[in-house]
C-alpha cells in the first residue's frame, strides 16, 4: 500500500492484520522458546528423523526399560545469560533442570553427565565458579556427576559458557507418570509461587536491570516428588513448568491427554513482585519460566493428602490447588478470571524473552 493513497475513510472491509510468519527457512529464537515453534521443530524435524517409539511419548524425560529395569533418561542444555543471577547460576540450572526432568517421571536422579562448551578467552576462574556451583547443586540434589566432556570454540563463536547435562534414575515400581494420563476429575496442583526464575533473570539482564528483590526458585524437586509418591504411586501427571511457564505445561498436558483444563486465576500463586514486574514488562506470569516448581494432575480422592504432603516439604510449602481437569473442550486450557469472566490460555507461539535457562 503506497503512502500516497488518499482515502476519505478507512476501508475496513479490506482490513488485513499482520500475522507472524510460520514457515522459517532458518532457525529463529522462537524455536528455542518452548512454545509452538519449538513443538513444530520437534514434530517436523527431529521426531521424523529419529523415529523411535520412546521419543514419540515426548515427555520431559524418556522412560526406558533396560535389562528389566525401568529407567528415566533425560538431557538438557543451558545457555542462560547472565551466568550468575539472583538465587542461582547456570551450574544450579544444569543440575536441577535435568534432575527435575527425571523427577517428573517419578525417578530419583542417580547419575549425571556434564558437558562444558567454553569460548576461547573466558576466564578460568569463571569456569571454576560455575563448576563449583554445579558440584554443590549436585550434592544438594543427591546426584553424582559420573562423566563429562569439555570443548572449546574460537572466540566469538560462543557466549562464554554453555552446559549440557544428561541424567538417569530408577522409576519406582507402580509409578506411571505421563501427560497422556491426565483425565477428567483430576485435581491440578502447583507446588508454589510461579514466575520467580524468569523475573529474577530478567531483573539482571543487560539493558533491562530493574530493582526487584526476587530470587530464582531454582531447586531440585526429587525429594518433593518422592514425598508425593509416598502418599500414592497413582499420580497421573507431573510436569515442571520451565520455558513457556505454567501456561505451556498445562497446554501440553491438555493436548497430550485430549482433556480440558479449567483453572481459577485467583488460586494461582503469583508473588506481588512477579505480578508487578510482569505488569511493567507486559508479560503474563503464566508464561514466565520456573526452575523449582511442578504442576501435578492428581486423582481427586488423593488430592487432599497429596497437597498436605507437598506443603510439609520445603519445596512445596506454597502448594495450591489451581483447577481441575475436565472432559469438555479437549486440548484447551481455560481460566476463570478474578472478575468472573473467562479467557483461553493458549500455547505461547514463540518466547517471551531469550535465554533464561
Partner 1 sequence: MKYLEEFQNPELARRLLDDIRAAVTRPWALMEVCGGQTHTIIRHGIDQLLPEGVELIHGPGCPVCVTPLEVIDKALEIASRPEVIFCSFGDMLRVPGTGKDLFRVRSEGGDVRVVYSPLDALRIAEQNPDKQVVFFGIGFETTAPPNAMTVYQAKKRGIRNFSLLVSHVRVPPAIEAIMQSPDCRVQGFLAAGHVCSVMGTAEYPELAERFRVPIVVTGFEPLDILEGIRRTVRQLERGEHAVDNAYPRAVRDEGNPAAQAMLADVFETTDRAWRGIGTIPQSGWRLSSRYREFDAEHRFDVGDVNTCEPAACRAGEVLQGLLKPNECEAFGTVCTPRNPLGATMVSSEGACAAYYLYRRLGAPAAPAAPLEASPVA
Residue 132 or 337 having the CB closest to partner 1: 337
Cα separation of 200 and 210, whole Å?
A: 10
Nearest distance from residue 326's CB to partner 1, in Å?
Answer: 6
Q: Residue 97 or 323: which CB sits closer to partner 1?
A: 323
Residues that bind partner 1 (CB under 8 A): 1-22, 24-30, 36, 207-208, 262, 272, 275-276, 279, 323-324, 326, 328-329, 332, 334, 336-346, 349-350, 353
**Which is closer to partner 1, CB of 158 or CB of 222?**
158
**What gap in Å lies between CA 90 and CA 84, rounded to an integer?**
7
Minimal distance in Å, beta carbon 215 to partner 1? 18
Distance, C-alpha 168 to centroid of its chain:
19
Helix, strand, coil distribution of the chain in percent, nearest 5: 35, 25, 45
Shortest Cβ distance from residue 254 to partner 1 (Å)? Answer: 11
Give whichever of 103 and 274 is closer to partner 1, judged by the CB atom. Answer: 274
Look up residue 20 and give its DSSP letter: -
* C-alpha span between 263 and 254 (Å, rounded): 12
Residue 238 host element (H or E): strand 237-239
- Residue 74 C-beta: closest distance to partner 1, Å: 28
Rounded Cα gap, residues 247 and 250, in angstroms:
5
Closer residue to partner 1 in complex, CB, 112/268: 268
Shortest Cβ distance from residue 92 to partner 1 (Å)? Answer: 26
Least Cβ distance, residue 11 to partner 1 (angstroms): 5
Q: Read off the C-alpha cell for 290.
A: 520456573
Q: If 0-12 CB within 10 Å is exposed, 13-18 middle and 19+ buried, where does residue 196 land?
A: buried
Rounded to 5 degrees, what are φ and ψ at 62?
A: -90, 140
Cβ nearer to partner 1, comparing 134 with 262: 262
Amino acid at each position: 500500500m503506497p503512502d500516497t493513497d488518499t482515502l476519505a475513510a478507512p476501508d475496513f472491509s479490506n482490513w488485513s492484520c499482520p500475522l507472524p510468519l510460520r514457515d522459517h527457512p532458518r532457525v529463529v529464537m522462537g524455536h528455542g522458546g518452548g512454545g509452538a515453534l519449538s513443538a513444530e521443530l520437534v514434530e517436523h524435524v527431529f521426531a521424523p528423523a529419529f523415529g523411535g517409539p520412546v521419543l514419540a511419548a515426548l515427555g520431559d524425560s524418556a522412560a526406558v526399560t533396560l535389562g528389566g529395569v525401568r529407567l528415566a533418561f533425560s538431557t538438557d542444555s543451558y545457555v542462560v545469560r547472565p551466568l550468575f543471577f539472583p538465587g542461582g547460576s547456570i551450574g544450579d540450572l544444569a543440575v536441577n533442570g535435568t534432575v527435575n526432568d527425571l523427577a517428573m517421571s517419578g525417578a530419583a536422579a542417580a547419575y549425571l553427565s556434564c558437558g562444558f562448551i567454553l569460548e576461547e578467552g573466558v576466564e578460568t576462574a569463571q569456569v571454576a565458579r560455575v563448576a563449583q556451583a554445579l558440584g554443590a547443586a549436585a550434592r544438594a540434589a543427591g546426584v553424582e556427576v559420573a562423566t563429562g566432556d569439555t570443548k572449546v570454540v574460537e572466540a566469538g563463536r560462543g557466549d562464554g559458557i554453555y552446559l549440557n547435562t544428561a541424567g538417569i534414575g530408577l522409576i519406582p515400581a507402580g509409578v506411571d507418570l505421563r501427560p497422556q494420563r491426565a483425565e477428567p476429575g483430576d485435581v491440578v496442583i502447583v507446588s508454589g509461587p510461579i514466575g520467580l526464575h524468569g523475573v529474577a533473570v530478567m531483573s539482571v539482564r543487560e539493558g533491562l536491570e530493574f530493582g526487584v528483590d526476587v530470587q530464582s526458585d531454582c531447586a531440585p524437586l526429587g525429594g518433593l516428588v518422592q514425598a508425593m509418591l509416598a502418599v500414592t504411586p497413582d499420580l497421573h501427571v507431573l510436569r515442571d513448568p520451565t520455558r513457556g511457564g505454567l501456561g505451556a505445561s498445562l497446554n501440553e498436558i491438555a493436548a497430550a491427554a485430549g482433556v480440558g483444563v479449567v483453572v481459577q486465576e485467583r488460586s494461582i500463586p503469583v508473588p506481588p513482585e512477579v505480578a508487578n514486574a510482569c505488569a511493567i514488562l507486559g508479560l503474563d506470569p503464566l508464561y514466565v519460566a520456573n526452575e523449582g516448581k511442578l504442576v501435578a494432575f492428581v486423582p481427586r480422592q488423593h488430592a487432599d493428602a497429596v497437597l498436605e504432603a507437598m506443603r510439609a516439604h520445603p519445596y512445596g510449602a506454597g502448594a495450591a490447588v489451581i483447577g481441575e481437569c475436565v472432559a469438555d473442550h479437549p486440548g484447551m486450557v481455560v481460566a476463570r478470571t478474578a472478575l468472573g469472566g473467562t479467557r483461553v490460555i493458549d500455547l505461547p507461539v514463540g518466547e517471551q524473552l531469550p535465554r533464561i535457562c
